[in-house]
Amino acid sequence: MNVDVEPKETKQIIPTNVLQQTAFWARLKKKQGWYPHAFDLSLGKDEASIPHSPDDKERKGDILITLRELGGGRYMAYVPFGPEQLPDEERRGIWLEEISEQLRNFLTDDCLFIRYDLYWESPWANEDDFYSADGIWLGPPDAHIQELRMNFDTRHFRLRKAPSDMLPAHTVMLDLNNNEDELLAKMKSKTRYNIRLSQRKGVKVRHAGMEELPKWYQLYDETYHRNRLASNDISFFEQIFTTRADDTWSPGEVDLLLAEKDGEPLAGMFLARSGKRATYLYGASSSRHRNLQASHALQWAAIRRSKETGCTEYDLFGISPKPDPDHPMYGLYRFKTGFGGEKIHRQGCWDYPLNEEAYEQYRLSELNATGYHL
């Protein structure tokens, strides 16, 4: 497979619905201590299913990678939700191998491996044998079987399923081409009821400015302590709120929404937009007045806001792979699937070692440090 990889400025990353593959995301990650790099991908016309102009001699795409320091002067090259371009299923591993070998030329010896947080849907999500009788996805086979399939026909058999995913591999996507009545009709009855209940109880949702970030952070800190999760400090959200990329080819936008009753914040979210997609990026809620269903009011307001700004998709961003009460994201599964939409199961993180011995050492240390790192 012939793939040409050429570096370019991150401000020239092409427009996309995938927020994590934009110039906006590159600037945000740079603020947060990562090192972003962008590359053009040029490949033959029959190599991948990439939308293109009939006048193009080659189908083209690009890729954002962010270097993350691992300690001791070593790095990981992380590709958040990329590459977007989707080859035929049986050639995915071959293509990732070729891109990786090309990227090797632009990475230093201190970079131990490339981690692709794949945006592609899992091939097992389209196989009937991996669903229960009542239509519940059972998940992919074990990592060894996944690796056999991914590395089929590759030269080096080097692609490894990562110990954990960094971005959520499973999500719910709403089609905003439906009108509001149709969107409500596709929701579970309990979700519709809770939206209307919150409205009757006087919950109001509004945009908040930078000066109100402490209100959001109080909700966020409370939520993460309640669920015993590691939290970010307030500067992390200041960076999200203040990042601008209007002078680039692929700007993104972020709004802070607060749901309140009589001026008291009860729930909040960061709503991000890129291209025609809106994403529920971060959410939080108070332990007080949970009977007011403020989180339902917040989501419905975000969906309506996304439609008003021209978005055709709404990504609820992160659920458990199936309704398993023992999974830490089961509560999110129950809440988010209530809004209807299509469940998406992506392939998650895959590693391509550039230094096999050092990578194995890092992999062992990572096995006990799972989680999401937006």
Predicted pLDDT at 271: 98
Predicted pLDDT at 163: 92
**Res 50 pLDDT > 90:** no
Give the whole-angstrom CA distance, residue 122 versus residue 264.
Answer: 42
Q: What is the DSSP letter of 125?
A: G
Which pLDDT band, with edges at 50, 70 and 90, does 189 fall under? very high
- Tokens in use for 262? 């009589």
The predicted model gives 177-204 an average pLDDT of 97
Question: Considering only CA atoms, which of 40, 35, 37, 36 is closest in space to residue 14?
Answer: 40
The predicted model gives 319-338 an average pLDDT of 94
**Res 22 pLDDT > 90:** yes
> What tens digit of pLDDT does each residue of 91-122 get?
899 999 999 999 999 999 999 999 999 999 99
Q: Could you tell me which residues are beta bridge partners of residue 66?
A: 36, 78
Which pLDDT band, with edges at 50, 70 and 90, does 373 fall under? low
The secondary structure element, H or E, covering residue 225 is: helix 213-226
Give the whole-angstrom CA distance, residue 370 versus residue 346.
Answer: 17
Predicted pLDDT at 374: 57
**Torsion sign, CA atoms 30, 240, 374, 100:** negative
The listed CATH number (3.50.50.60, 3.40.630.30, 3.40.640.10, 3.30.360.10) that belongs to domain 3-168+346-366? 3.40.630.30
| Residue 170 three-state SS | strand
Predicted pLDDT at 45: 52
Predicted pLDDT at 194: 98
Q: Could you check whether 3-168+346-366 and 177-311 share the same CATH topology?
A: yes
Cα angle 149-70-226, degrees, rounded to a multiple of 5: 85
**Res 47 pLDDT > 90:** no
DSSP string, 40-76: EEEE-TTSSB----TT-SSEEEEEEEEEEEEETTEEE
Give the whole-angstrom CA distance, residue 163 versus residue 158.
Answer: 15
Question: Considering only CA atoms, which of 171, 268, 290, 281 is closest in space to residue 220?
Answer: 268
Structural domain boundaries in the chain? 3-168+346-366, 177-311
What is the average pLDDT score of the chain? Answer: 92
> What tens digit of pLDDT does each residue of 350-365 get?
999 999 999 999 999 8
Percent of the chain residues past pLDDT 70, beyond the cut: 93
Predicted pLDDT at 87: 78
| Between residues 49 and 148, the one the model is more confident about | 148
Predicted pLDDT at 225: 84
**Res 55 pLDDT > 80:** no
Question: Considering only CA atoms, which of 93, 105, 78, 77 is closest in space to residue 4?
Answer: 105
Domain 177-311, architecture per CATH: 3-Layer(aba) Sandwich (3.40)
The predicted model gives 191-208 an average pLDDT of 97
Give the whole-angstrom CA distance, residue 240 versus residue 30.
Answer: 11
Q: How many CB atoms lie within 10 A of CB 272?
A: 24
The predicted model gives 13-34 an average pLDDT of 97
The predicted model gives 239-254 an average pLDDT of 95
**Res 315 pLDDT > 70:** yes
**Res 269 pLDDT > 60:** yes
Predicted pLDDT at 49: 46
Q: Is the whole-model pTM more than 0.85? A: yes
Q: How many CB atoms lie within 10 A of CB 7?
A: 12
